[in-house]
Amino acid sequence: MVVAQGDTSDLSTWDSNPPVGAGVHVVLDLVSEAGDRERLELDVVPDNAADFDAGLLGIGTPLGKAIAGRRAGTVAPYRKGDLVEVAILAVTPTVTPASDDAATRRQANLDKARQDIARTNAEIFSTTFDSKWGGYDAAAVDWTAVTRSILRKTTPEKARQFYRINA
């Protein structure tokens, strides 16, 4: 019997050391080159329900792929930045079902990033532009109108890049 995500009603058949896959809760240690460890507790979910900030790790993400199919007590190579490996400390059934609104939250974050890009671009321009008729007073600018104008020209990829850099 496979225990469905969030279904803990029949744990009599639950594998005491199950492999990592969608529908489990994992406790991990990310290990750096210096030997430092960072503890993470995450629920592994399908990619469409992933929301790392909410503790939901998509199985198709680089970290999800590194630990997929492995069991508690094992170490997997994981080269990202100064990280070299990930130690899987525990794998248990998840108790919180994945949220269906993860895609909506991701889109809201992208929209916010686009707004932040537009405002930042406008502020930079207003503080650097000067002409023979005078410059801009950044405090007096109607940022809502400027942001709307710039947003029409901002691509989703630019928004994602900005958000990754400034988040």
- Report percent pLDDT > 90 for the chain: 36
DSSP bridge pairs for 131: 134
What band does 8 get if pLDDT is binned at 50, 70 and 90? Answer: very low
Beta strand 56-58 with 75-80: parallel, antiparallel or unpaired? unpaired
What band does 66 get if pLDDT is binned at 50, 70 and 90? Answer: very high
Q: Which of 47, 52, 44, 54 is nearest to 22 (CA)?
A: 44
Asked whether the beta carbons of 100 and 49 are under 8 A apart, the reply is yes
pLDDT at 150: 60
Q: Which of 16, 162, 32 is nearest to 92 (CA)?
A: 16
* The pLDDT of residue 76 is above 80: yes
What band does 4 get if pLDDT is binned at 50, 70 and 90? Answer: very low
What are the residues whose beta carbons fall under 8 Å from the beta carbon of 118, sequence distance 6 or more? Answer: 146, 147, 148, 149, 150, 151, 154
pLDDT at 2: 44
Q: Where are the alpha helices (DSSP H) in the chain?
A: 62-67, 102-128, 143-151, 156-166
- 88-142 pLDDT tens trace: 999 998 876 656 677 777 778 788 888 888 778 777 777 776 666 666 666 666 6
- Report percent pLDDT > 70 for the chain: 63
Domains and CATH numbers, the chain: 11-93 (3.10.50.30), 102-166 (no CATH)
| CA contacts within 13 A on the Cβ side of 96 | 15
What band does 1 get if pLDDT is binned at 50, 70 and 90? Answer: very low
Taking CA atoms, 74 is separated from 27, 40, 64, 66, 85, in Å, by 12, 15, 14, 11, 10
pLDDT at 163: 54
More confident residue, 109 or 72: 72
Mean pLDDT, residues 12-34 taken together: 86
